[in-house]
Amino acid sequence: MYSLSPLFSESMDGPILADRFNPTAVSPRRLFQISENLVAKIDLRNEYTQSAINALAREHVVQTRLFDRGFCVPHSLGVFSLQIPTDTYYYRRGTIVPTHVFELVSDAIPLPSTYHLGWDTAYRLQREYDDAIRKIRSDKSFAFEPVDTGYHNGFYSPAKDTVFLCDFTLWKPKARVQRIGQAA
């Protein structure tokens, strides 16, 4: 068992404990299963910098707001400091990295890999993904602009028959344009 120290979290107070550190099949360099129902996403920069923390914190905020609006995204717990418990190909034991911790969808299939379910099913899943992105883009009150929205940032859960959106680190706050003579 090892602990995660909170860096930034809207939904959780105090550290959580993790009981494993297993690379996931979906993204073995970035996503690690840390408990029966949680994963930790490590920023690819693999360094403890403010920009890495900011990117993961932005992802947490976007994911939480989408979840609160009823979009299918894994439930986010927050951004935490993680000390790597064992040596892996990419990480050395004892290295401390910022991580974004969220709910594990254990049967996740990346959208580009759903063709084995049949062309009709794969096409239906891609349409569901496209519809969700279109709905987010058309929501004037949503504060972030979807960026990097290819199918590689979506996955399908057969058990829930649901398409999930994921990977929001590149999403940007929408610019607030103020015209001369108009109130903000």
Share of the chain above pLDDT 70, in %: 81
How far apart CA 35 and CA 32 sit, in angstroms, is 9
Alpha helices in the chain (DSSP H): 50-68, 119-138
Q: What region does 151 belong to: left with phi over 0, alpha with psi -120 to 50, or beta?
A: alpha
Give the amino acid at 140: K
Query: Within 10 Å of residue 56's Cβ, how many Cβ atoms?
Result: 25
pTM of the shown model: 0.82
pLDDT tens-digit profile of 21-72? 777 766 767 888 888 889 999 887 766 778 888 889 999 999 999 999 999 9
pLDDT tens-digit profile of 166-184? 999 889 998 754 445 555 4
Answer for the pair 103, 133: CB distance below 8 angstroms, yes or no. no
3-state secondary structure of 76: strand
